[in-house]
């Protein structure tokens, strides 16, 4: 092509021959376009036609030459962003060509060329060399740590300093007796440091600081998780049940000793036959007005209390949940303080303790069973904040419905559903720190005759670790938000916050299970050795998805809460309400769903936080409306609500997930908005983009079914996820360093050196 202006066609030729599958139609379109350009002579047209004859493809050399020319232009003019700009440049800035922008862009569209992508392929070439990628932080690690810790930094640092002391060296004995004792000893140290009573009122010796309490739980979780659970059972479940369900007389009597670990206790709710369905508990508390006592009794073996932490060995008392019976009438489940052992640890008469024995994890916690054989307790042992027996021996409660009273009681215990997801978060961070640091050092395979390469340079390895890293960062901010909402809650917000806590408990703990699974596999055989701690992290947190509420059950609660909100907003869940909602949602989605947007794949759009949030929220709203519609249809067809909810159970989980995804994304975005340091902001923004796009990728079938995106866009998102992983990789080690986990806690020889 000696004629310079003809070089304008090079990018089209190159793309049509190399970039995508050849279709006859594409060649025909290009042929027609050339034919219609009256500024070309007949010979010039013939020459151009000769380059796009399917029967006579260009040589390899031709294609290489074209590529080199395009590459040269793009490298010399980094400001170039579109194919047309390359066209103009190659034509030697020919004036005729410059006037043809509209026609060329139309041609690109007709050919289905993704201009920006084609250009960026040229630009990113140099970056795709596997061997060249290495750790190189783009930001100040301490600044990210400061953002993560926020106002809780002082207490976090205090806890870290305590658990870094020599006496907190990990217990390696496989003897559960030894381990349980060690965990109890550790708890005593924490109590002595005034960490256990942090949430209790100052009046009863506490720190009166709930925010600090949750930060203590989270930070302790960098250390042994049996310790965290034992700590949570004692100071959270046992102590907080007294505080939340009891009254002044109980506070005075118990709180100080609980906070000092002088009075170890249990939270005895779950029974063998009733876990998720706590309303069905069968233990009874029968009131005897004659002598003002309650008789606590286990009616049959399967009604025994089970999995109760502190029960097998150390607990001296328990908050026992039991059906209150007065004069033969059942007043529903209430809570009572029941002594289990004397001060010397001798089990009291009428109490039978069993040991849950060896568990998959958390073997430093003495879980046990408790049976009551007509155990008599004084009337004052009823935790009577929400219900009591009056002097006449009658049941009294400010809340008229037994059902509502019980759920109000449970609502006050929602703190556990904040502590657990935050503990899970810390475990995920530990796992990621170990796996990412190891993957940065571990080398395996390499280019032909070249050196071996860190396994973190491999794309699959990046996907497996960096997507969970992004999600873990996202969850961090969501849990900060949940904690703040909880601390500043008003009565009217309670239902929403309970649902949010239930949801984020599931969201965070499932993330931890999945993340630690990837971490284990990513560390290969080293990940299987107990010394590298993924064993303990994985097995200890395994039960997090079950306790404090089975995740699947909780997700249905969340979905039901969303449906209730939906009903509130649109009146009875009749057709019209749903139609209105759907219509409103559709209206707001019109701009997002136009034919250009559903196919839009340029980087700027794909990385745009507004696009992410709109996509998440559209999904959230549409799934919610669709589930509501389906349930209505099923109920209309004659099913009762219970059956209808079962039929759509799978969809209910989607409702909850979509809602939680939205919350997590939004809170991550809001947190980033507030960051002042530019470099910190930049890396957090990248993580947020990776979180958003990888979640969209997971749900891409939904977006395609809904018509919110077309295939060209979902494919571009997949590529962008890969690219973001690649871009974040040099920062990955710094990002886990920012968690600032003490070396003595991380402990894994594969990253902190041999013991």
CB-CB contact of 221 with 180 (8 Å): no
Structure tokens at 645: 């909810």
CB-CB contact of 247 with 388 (8 Å): no
CA 365 from centre of chain:
26
CB-CB contact of 232 with 419 (8 Å): yes
Q: 525-533: which pairs have CB atoms within 8 A and are 24 or more residues apart? A: 526/438, 526/442, 526/750, 527/435, 530/172, 531/747, 531/748, 531/749, 531/755, 532/434, 532/748, 532/749, 532/750, 533/430, 533/434, 533/746, 533/747, 533/748
Q: Which stretch binds a second copy (CB under 8 A): 59-67, 141-149, 203-211, 593-601?
A: 59-67
Q: For residue 229, what are the contacts with CB-CB under 8 A and spacing of at least 6? A: 309, 362, 365, 540
Among 706, 730, 742, 744, binds a second copy (CB under 8 A): 706
Query: Beta strand 317-326 with 284-288: parallel, antiparallel or unpaired?
Result: parallel
Structure tokens at 441: 């050092």
Binding of a second copy by 552 (CB under 8 A): yes
Identify which of residues 22 and 487 has a Cβ nearer to a second copy in the complex.
22
Identify which of residues 147 and 432 has a Cβ nearer to a second copy in the complex.
432
Site residues for a second copy, window 66-85 (CB under 8 A)?
67
Binding of a second copy by 707 (CB under 8 A): yes
Identify which of residues 69 and 160 has a Cβ nearer to a second copy in the complex.
69
Among 62, 542, 602, 608, binds a second copy (CB under 8 A): 542
Among 403, 444, 594, 610, binds a second copy (CB under 8 A): 444
Identify which of residues 293 and 462 has a Cβ nearer to a second copy in the complex.
462
Rounded CA-CA distance 90/379 in Å is 92
Site residues for a second copy, window 347-366 (CB under 8 A)?
356-361
Q: Which stretch binds a second copy (CB under 8 A): 158-166, 253-261, 524-532, 559-567?
A: 524-532
Binding of a second copy by 520 (CB under 8 A): yes
Rounded CA-CA distance 587/568 in Å is 21
Q: How far is the CB of 751 from a second copy (least distance, A)?
A: 15
Binding of a second copy by 513 (CB under 8 A): yes
Q: Which stretch binds a second copy (CB under 8 A): 236-244, 331-339, 341-349, 441-449?
A: 441-449
Q: How far is the CB of 640 from a second copy (least distance, A)?
A: 6
Site string for a second copy, 250-289 (x = CB under 8 A): --------------------x--xxxxx--x---------
Among 110, 140, 531, 603, binds a second copy (CB under 8 A): 531
Q: What is the DSSP letter of 362?
A: -
Identify which of residues 591 and 701 has a Cβ nearer to a second copy in the complex.
701
Binding of a second copy by 535 (CB under 8 A): yes
Site residues for a second copy, window 203-232 (CB under 8 A)?
none
SS (H, E, C) 15-64: HHHHHCCCCHHHHHHHHHHHHCCCCCCHHHHHHHHHCCCCCCCCCHHHHH
Identify which of residues 6 and 63 has a Cβ nearer to a second copy in the complex.
63
Identify which of residues 463 and 489 has a Cβ nearer to a second copy in the complex.
463
Q: How far is the CB of 282 from a second copy (least distance, A)?
A: 12
User: What's the distance, Cα to Cα, between the start and end of the chain in Å?
Assistant: 68
Site residues for a second copy, window 720-749 (CB under 8 A)?
722
Rounded CA-CA distance 110/573 in Å is 46
Among 181, 539, 585, 609, binds a second copy (CB under 8 A): 539
Among 39, 524, 564, 610, binds a second copy (CB under 8 A): 524
DSSP one-letter string for 578-624: HHHHHHHHHHHHTTTTSTTGGG---HHHHT-HHHHHHHHHHHHHHHH
Q: How far is the CB of 488 from a second copy (least distance, A)?
A: 33
Binding of a second copy by 640 (CB under 8 A): yes
Among 53, 128, 169, 403, binds a second copy (CB under 8 A): 128
SS (H, E, C) 465-518: HHHHHHHHHHHHHHHHHHHHHHHCCCHHHHHHHHHHHHHHHHHHHHHHHHHHHH
Q: How far is the CB of 257 from a second copy (least distance, A)?
A: 29
Rounded CA-CA distance 86/88 in Å is 5
Q: What is the DSSP letter of 224?
A: -
Q: How far is the CB of 267 from a second copy (least distance, A)?
A: 14
Q: How far is the CB of 652 from a second copy (least distance, A)?
A: 8
Binding of a second copy by 172 (CB under 8 A): yes
Identify which of residues 246 and 275 has a Cβ nearer to a second copy in the complex.
275
Identify which of residues 165 and 302 has a Cβ nearer to a second copy in the complex.
302
Structure tokens at 694: 């990888």
Q: Which stretch binds a second copy (CB under 8 A): 29-37, 342-350, 517-525, 658-666?
A: 517-525
Binding of a second copy by 401 (CB under 8 A): no
539-578: string of b/e by CB count within 10 Å (b at 16+)?
Answer: bbbbbbbebbbebbebbbbbbebbbeebeeebeebeeebb
Binding of a second copy by 599 (CB under 8 A): no
Q: Which stretch binds a second copy (CB under 8 A): 140-148, 288-296, 446-454, 589-597?
A: 446-454
Q: How far is the CB of 442 from a second copy (least distance, A)?
A: 9
Binding of a second copy by 53 (CB under 8 A): no
Rounded CA-CA distance 109/91 in Å is 21
Binding of a second copy by 546 (CB under 8 A): yes
267 forms beta bridges with: 319
Binding of a second copy by 543 (CB under 8 A): yes
Q: How far is the CB of 335 from a second copy (least distance, A)?
A: 21
320 forms beta bridges with: 268, 336
Identify which of residues 263 and 436 has a Cβ nearer to a second copy in the complex.
436
Q: Which stretch binds a second copy (CB under 8 A): 110-118, 319-327, 475-483, 698-706?
A: 698-706
Binding of a second copy by 646 (CB under 8 A): yes
């Amino acid at each position: 092509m000696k004629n310079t202006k003809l070089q304008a066609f090079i990018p089209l030729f190159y793309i049509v021959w190399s970039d995508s599958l050849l279709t006859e139609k594409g060649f025909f379109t290009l042929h027609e376009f050339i034919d219609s350009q009256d500024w070309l002579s007949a010979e010039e047209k013939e020459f151009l036609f000769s380059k796009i004859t399917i029967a006579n493809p260009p040589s390899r050399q031709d294609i290489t030459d074209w590529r080199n020319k395009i590459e040269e232009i793009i490298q010399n003019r980094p400001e170039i962003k579109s194919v047309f700009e390359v066209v103009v440049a190659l034509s030697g800035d020919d004036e005729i060509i410059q006037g043809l922008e509209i026609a060329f862009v139309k041609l690109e569209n007709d050919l289905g060329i993704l201009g920006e992508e084609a250009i960026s392929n040229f630009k990113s070439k140099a970056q795709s060399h596997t061997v060249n990628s290495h750790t190189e932080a783009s930001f100040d690690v301490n600044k990210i740590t400061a953002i993560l810790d926020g106002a809780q930094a002082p207490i976090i640092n205090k806890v870290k300093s305590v658990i870094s002391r020599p006496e907190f060296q990990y217990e390696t004995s496989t003897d559960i007796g030894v381990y349980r004792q060690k965990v109890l000893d550790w708890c005593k140290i924490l109590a002595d440091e005034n960490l256990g009573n942090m949430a209790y009122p100052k009046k009863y010796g506490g720190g009166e600081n709930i925010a600090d309490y949750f930060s203590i739980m989270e930070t302790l979780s960098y250390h042994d998780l049996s310790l965290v659970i034992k700590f949570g059972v004692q100071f959270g479940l046992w102590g907080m049940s007294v505080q939340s369900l009891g009254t002044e007389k109980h506070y005075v009597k118990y709180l100080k000793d609980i906070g000092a670990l002088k009075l170890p206790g249990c939270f005895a709710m779950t029974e063998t036959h009733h876990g998720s369905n706590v309303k069905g508990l069968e233990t009874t508390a029968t009131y005897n007005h004659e002598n003002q006592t309650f008789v606590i009794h286990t009616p049959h073996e399967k009604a025994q209390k089970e999995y109760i932490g502190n029960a097998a060995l150390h607990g001296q008392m328990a908050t026992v949940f039991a059906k209150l019976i007065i004069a033969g009438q059942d007043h529903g489940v209430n809570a009572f303080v029941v002594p289990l052992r004397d001060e010397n640890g001798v089990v009291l008469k009428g109490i039978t303790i069993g040991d849950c024995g060896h568990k998959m994890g958390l073997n430093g916690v003495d879980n046990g069973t408790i049976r009551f054989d007509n155990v008599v307790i004084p009337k004052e042992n009823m935790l009577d904040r929400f219900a009591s027996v009056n002097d006449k021996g009658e049941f009294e409660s400010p809340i008229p419905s037994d059902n509502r009273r019980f759920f109000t009681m449970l609502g006050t215990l929602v703190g556990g559903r904040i502590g657990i997801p935050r503990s899970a978060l810390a475990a995920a961070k530990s796992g990621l720190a170990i796996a990412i640091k190891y993957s940065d050092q571990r080398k395996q395979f390499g280019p032909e005759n070249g050196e071996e390469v860190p396994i973190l340079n491999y794309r699959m390895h990046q996907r497996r670790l960096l997507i969970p890293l992004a999600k873990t960062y996202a969850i961090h901010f969501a849990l900060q938000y949940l904690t703040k909402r909880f601390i500043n809650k008003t009565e009217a917000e309670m239902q929403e916050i309970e649902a949010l806590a239930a949801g984020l408990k599931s969201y965070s703990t499932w993330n931890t299970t999945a993340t630690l699974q990837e971490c284990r596999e990513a560390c290969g055989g080293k990940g299987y050795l107990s010394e590298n701690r993924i064993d303990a992290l994985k097995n200890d947190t395994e039960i997090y998805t079950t306790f404090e509420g089975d995740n699947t059950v909780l997700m249905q609660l969340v979905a039901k809460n969303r449906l209730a909100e939906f009903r509130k907003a649109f009146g009875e869940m009749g057709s019209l309400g749903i139609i209105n909602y759907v219509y409103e949602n559709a209206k707001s989605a019109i701009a997002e769903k136009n034919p250009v947007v559903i196919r839009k794949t340029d980087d700027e759009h794909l990385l745009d936080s507004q696009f992410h949030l709109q996509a998440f929220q559209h999904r959230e709203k549409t799934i919610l409306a669709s589930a509501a519609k389906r349930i209505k249809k099923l109920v209309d067809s004659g099913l009762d609500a219970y059956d209808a909810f079962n039929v759509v159970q799978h969809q209910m989980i989607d409702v909850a997930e979509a809602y939680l995804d939205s919350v997590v994304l939004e809170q991550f975005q809001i947190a980033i908005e507030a960051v002042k340091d530019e470099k910190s902001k930049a890396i957090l923004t990248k993580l947020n983009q990776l979180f958003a796009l990888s979640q969209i990728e997971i749900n891409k079938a939904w977006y395609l079914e809904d018509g919110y995106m077309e295939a060209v866009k979902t494919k571009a998102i997949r590529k962008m996820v890969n690219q973001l992983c690649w871009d974040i990789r040099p920062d990955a080690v710094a990002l886990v360093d920012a968690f600032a986990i003490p070396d003595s806690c991380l402990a894994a020889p594969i990253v902190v050196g041999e013991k």
